[in-house]
Chain A
Amino acid sequence: MSQRRRGISRRSFVKSAVAIGGASAFAACTNREQVDVPQGTDDLSTLPQRQHAWNDALDRDDHGNVVAPRHRVVLLLDYVGEGTPSDDEREQVEHALGSLERAYARGNDGLLVTVSYSPRYFSRYDASPAGVELPEPEALAPFEDPDLDRPDAVVHLASDYGQVVLGAEQALRGEHESLNGVEMAASFDGVFEVAARRTGFVGRGLPAENQDVEGLPDGDAVDEDAPLYMGFKSGFEKAQASEDAVTIDAGPFAGGTTQHLSRIRLHLEQWYEQDSRYQRVAKMFCPAHADDGRVEGVGDNLGSDSGMDECPVPHDSARSKGMVGHSQKSAEARRDGSPRIIRRDFDSTDGGEAGLHFLSIQRSIADFAETRTAMNGTDVSDGSAVGTRTNNGILQYMTVERRGNYLLPPRAHRSLPRPDPAA
């Protein structure tokens, strides 16, 4: 534990069960967590038509902020067959997803799940999804060079319990006949194979528990209360778009949304060992928050609003303070006063590295790209003391390694949709 070998191998890194996966991890979690996970409904017609309608099912904290499910598994799936899927396969996928919904109730203590599809999937039909712009992923900053993900589909599993995300994953892989006392009518076996598995966590205590990874200083730099590695609360109610606002409102995929998933590697040694608390608050929120001491601890005192109205416009901070905050810049992308994306991101130890899977949903991929452009702050750094990364929000501490774009259809079309399900 105390050795100081640098690199991934220096740590006697203990992976969490969710990160490891597999049958024994599931058994270990089930043993340790000792909970009765509520079963889901028998009447699937009562479930929301929007796959991404999570907020009503999730808990709220004392300030009314949505409490993100603590454990996550994201599976990148390749369609096994040649050409386009058959109706039988469509039915099999729907049965598998329906079984998960019967097995676990929707909510923090149960399971939330979405399935989304890539441009490559739709290209099997030589088509694009009707009424939706779904571009292939691309680099979104002059200083990044991400690998581009091109699976057919992505499943996102979320729960406060490790055993639930693991159980659901195993069941989809065809390794459980029944789950939480409910028979699995089908699995993805023979239709999809898992091309990549990404895991993670978000919520008080978990980043501190998982800080023995590359990219963080040795020791206990991460606050016990922090929900994310960088040490601050995120996802304040007023800093997230509403589910209505991100929902596609017309065409055959109305009721769906788009999803962007990036893998970001975090380099937080400088953040914790070289930057001061003042600098961290200024770079994460805005210099005015740091000057006025507006953020206590991890930021619970902010309530339901990160206070962006009290930050000057980024250009002013850049010119007069020589620095600009991440939230302050990102808030420039707001439309009619509201952010355009819902962030459902989570931290990760995948690869033994401190990372973040930035999963967000928005009405169009353009909403994401424009938000990211605001976060790049290129217009802010041009003509001011702020560098492309230096003193420019949190850009110095992250590298975007992978990007992917997906259509997250409404529930009715979640299983191997045709490009025009109405036709």
Chain B
Amino acid sequence: MQRRDVLKASGLAAAGSLAGCNGLFETQSLRTVPLVEDRPDAVYVPSHVEGMEMIGMGTKGRRAVGLMYSYPHRFWTVTGTRTEKVSLREEDSVHLMATVWDVETKTVLPVDAGVTVDVRRDGESVAKRSPWPMLSQNMGFHFGDNFALDGDGTYSVVVDVGATSLARRGSFAGEFADPLSVEIPFEYEQATRDEITFEKLPDRKGSRDALSPMQMDMVPLSTAPSAGDLDAMTTATTESGDATFLVAVVEDDDGPYLAVSPRTPYNRYVMPLMSLSATLTRDGETVFDDALPAAIGPSLDYHYGTTIPSYEGGEELTITVDAPPQVSRHEGYETAFLDVPAATVTL
């Protein structure tokens, strides 16, 4: 037992010193651009735009998992209305991004259970963590974090996706209820990473606008439906905290269903992990006043909604944001959707 430990230790020390050299080269090319000064409390164009590369995908049943990477970069986690900037570590090699979608409808599934990513090499775990649910301007909702790899080489990335307990509508009913696991090979080479586009935006940075969504053949984006896409009894739109709220009342078997679909401006991405409540009044009388749980469906996508007692037309709806979206933010989103006052629309 003991002798084995000793042997193991000496073998590893040798491997470790080689990797030390790799590490040195790796850190030199990390790219950083200073943050935009005077960021507005709203969505803004970040200091630079980075491309990303597809690593691969895995499919099980109706769900597909796509894995992408880019340069490691700063982002912000959100707890309550506070943001916390996550800076680069010198050893970070990539920003890994995973996205999960329904293959039949190409709907991105911001599953509440999240994902766990285990980066493995030669049967050993190199890094394992649960990446943050995130929003970025070029990719919308995904799970992501910076990872430190062990230099160039062949990795295998195991992505575990949790079972969802979100309310599911239409053809999603009963689906996605099991965890799933996919393994995606990753041939990593720093030189290849460094070919990913990286462009500073000296003229546009800081302006109230957003980067365009990335176009990828294989991977759908978390784009929310526009009013015209919905078969609804009524739709209305309001804005608050730089978020747009599309409200729809749709006919369901058990009565009218009230859906509130908050989305980002410019790119129309869904906004998961909010606490929303709604008060519906008709001629000054309260018809409905309660929390709106998150739900997902093939036409409404990710939204917040519930069945309401009745809908006649002309009702007033007040949407209260009890907690803003707790998704981590890539640059350009970290100052928006934090202070989101109540908003009222007439349906």
- Hey, which bits of chain A sit against chain B, CB under 8 A? 2-13, 15, 20-22, 24, 142-143, 145, 214-215, 218, 265, 267, 269-270, 273-276, 278-279, 282-283, 287, 318-323, 378, 381-391, 396-397, 399
Contact = CB atoms under 8 A, between A and B. Distances in A.
Nearest to B125: A7
A22 B273 CA distance: 51
Nearest 6 Cβ contacts at the A-B interface: A322-B323, A5-B19, A383-B293, A3-B16, A385-B323, A143-B162
B151 to A, nearest CB: 8
Nearest to A279: B79
Nearest to A287: B80
A12 B292 CA distance: 52
A384 B323 contact: yes
Contacts of B144: none
Most buried by B among A9, A11, A13: A9
Most buried by B among A11, A384, A385: A385
Contacts of A399: 116, 128
Contacts of B179: 142-143, 145
Given A12-B13, A381-B112, A390-B133, A4 B20 contact: yes
A4 B18 CA distance: 9
B91 A396 contact: no
A384 B84 CA distance: 21
Given A385-B273, A391-B79, A396-B114, 14 more contacts: A10-B19, A12-B12, A143-B113, A278-B84, A282-B80, A287-B80, A322-B81, A322-B273, A322-B324, A382-B165, A384-B322, A385-B326, A387-B114, A399-B128
Contacts of A267: 128-130
Given A7-B126, A396-B130, A22 B1 contact: yes
24 contacts: A4-B23, A5-B12, A7-B125, A8-B125, A9-B12, A11-B16, A22-B2, A142-B163, A142-B179, A143-B162, A143-B163, A282-B79, A319-B323, A320-B322, A381-B165, A384-B322, A385-B273, A385-B324, A387-B114, A389-B114, A390-B132, A390-B326, A397-B130, A399-B116
Contacts of A275: 77, 84
B165 A388 contact: yes
B103 interface: no
Interface of B: 1-2, 5, 9, 12-13, 15-20, 23, 77-82, 84, 86, 89, 91, 112-114, 116, 121, 124-130, 132-133, 145, 148-150, 162-163, 165, 179, 273-275, 277, 291-294, 322-326
Nearest to A291: B80
A388 B114 contact: yes
A26 to B, nearest CB: 12
B294 A383 contact: yes
Contact of A387 (B17, B81, B150, B273): B273
A7 B326 contact: no
A20 B9 contact: no
Given A5-B15, A24-B2, A387 B112 contact: yes
Contacts of A215: 128
A interface secondary structure, majority: loop
A320 B320 CA distance: 11
Nearest to B166: A382
B52 to A, nearest CB: 21
A323 B130 contact: no
Contact of A276 (B5, B84, B130, B291): B84
Nearest to B11: A9
A3 B20 contact: yes
Contacts of B23: 3-5
A20 B129 contact: no
Nearest to A351: B125
Contact of B126 (A6, A11, A145): A6
A2 B113 CA distance: 36
Contacts of A381: 112, 165
A270 B146 CA distance: 10
Most buried by A among B84, B114, B145: B114
A384 to B, nearest CB: 5
B17 A322 contact: no
Contacts of A388: 112-114, 162, 165
B77 A12 contact: no
Contact of A6 (B127, B133, B293): B127
A353 B344 CA distance: 52
B165 A20 contact: no
A144 to B, nearest CB: 9
